Amino acid sequence: MTSTVDSTGSTDRAGRAGGQDPVIEVAGAGIRFRRNRRGRRTFKDLFGARSRRLRPDQFWALRDVTFRVAPGEAIGVVGRNGQGKSTLLKLVAEVVLPDEGRVDVKAGVAPLIEITGGFVDDLTVRENVYLTAGLHGMSRREIDDRFDEIIAFAEIGDFLETPYKHLSSGMKVRLAFSVISRLEEPVLLVDEVLAVGDRAFREKCYARIEELLAGGRTLFFVSHSEKDLRRFCRRGLYLDRGRLVLDGPIEDVLERYGRDSGTR
Amino acid sequence: MTTAAPIAPLAARATGGRRYRQVLWLLTARDLRVRYSTSALGYLWSILDPLVMAAIYWFVFTQVFERSVGEEPYIVFLLAGLLPWMWFNGAVGDSTRAFLKEAKLVRSTKIPRTIWVNRLVLSKGLEFLFSLPVIAAFAIFGGAQLTWGIALLPLAILLQAMLTAGVGLLIAPLVVFFRDLERAAKLVLRFLFYASPIIYSARDLPEGLHAWAAFNPLAGIFALYRSAFFLEELDWYLIGIGAAVSVAMLAVGLLVFRRTERSVLKEI
Mean pLDDT, chain B, whole residue set: 87
pLDDT tens readout for residues B202-232:
888 888 888 888 899 999 999 999 999 999 9
Q: How confident is the model at residue A151 (pLDDT cuts 50, 70, 90)?
A: very high
pLDDT tens digit sequence for A184-214: 888 988 887 666 667 888 888 888 888 888 9
- Predicted-complex ipTM score: 0.78
A81 located within any domain: yes
Q: Given this model, what pLDDT does residue A5 score?
A: 36
CA dihedral A111, A116, A118, A121 (to 10 degrees): 170
Bridge partners for A237 per DSSP: A77, A247
Q: Does A137 fall in a domain? A: no
**CATH at A50:** 3.40.50.300
Stronger pLDDT, A17 or A89, i.e. the higher one:
A89
B119 vs A contacts (CB less than 8 Å): none
- A120 falls within a domain: no
Q: For residue A172, is it within any domain?
A: no
Q: Looking at residue A45, what is its pLDDT?
A: 64
Pairing outcome for strands A218-222 and A187-190: parallel
Question: Do B37 and A123 count as a contact with CB atoms less than 8 A apart?
Answer: yes
Number of structural domains in chain A: 1
Is the residue at A43 inside a domain? yes
Cβ contacts of B206-213, under 8 Å, gap ≥ 24: B213/B238
Q: Is residue A204 part of a domain?
A: yes
Q: Supply the range of the domain harboring residue A219.
A: 24-108+186-261
Facing A118 at nearest CB: one of B3, B6, B108: B108
Q: How far is A206 from chain B (nearest CA, A)?
A: 13
Chain B residues within an 8 Å CB radius of A186: 7, 10
Residue A139 has pLDDT above 90, yes or no: no
Please report the pLDDT score of residue A194 as a whole number. 64
Q: Helical H runs in chain B?
A: 16-38, 43-58, 74-95, 98-101, 103-108, 115-142, 153-177, 180-195, 207-213, 217-226, 236-267
Chain A residues with beta carbon closer than 8 angstroms to that of B178: 41
Q: Which residue has the higher pLDDT, B174 or A56?
A: B174
Asked if A96 and B266 come within 8 Å (Cβ–Cβ), the reply is: yes
